[in-house]
Amino acid sequence: MTFTEMIEDNYKQRGLRNKLVKKLQEKGISDSRVLDAIGKVPRHAFLTMY
């Protein structure tokens, strides 16, 4: 995987974030600011490849 592919915010990455948001809501997280941030920030772009 190239660096560009790793940081690309593609359909799969957005889907994973949406899934995480739903999981957090099921666990009782209801702060819309937190859920919005988790749904928007492409966290995979900040990971280090080992």
pLDDT digits (tens, 9 = 90+) for 17-27: 999 999 999 99
Give CA angle at 38 (45, 18), nearest 5°: 95
Q: What is the dihedral of CA 45, 48, 15, 12, to 10 degrees?
A: 90
For the record, the structure tokens of 28 come out as 């009782």
What whole-number distance in Å separates Cα of residue 22 and Cα of residue 1? 28
11 or 48, higher pLDDT: 11
pLDDT at 34 over 90: yes
pLDDT of 36 reads: 94
pLDDT of residue 21: 95
Which pLDDT value is given to residue 41? 85
In the prediction, which pLDDT does 48 show?
A: 66
pTM of the model as a whole: 0.73
* Three-class DSSP category at 40: helix
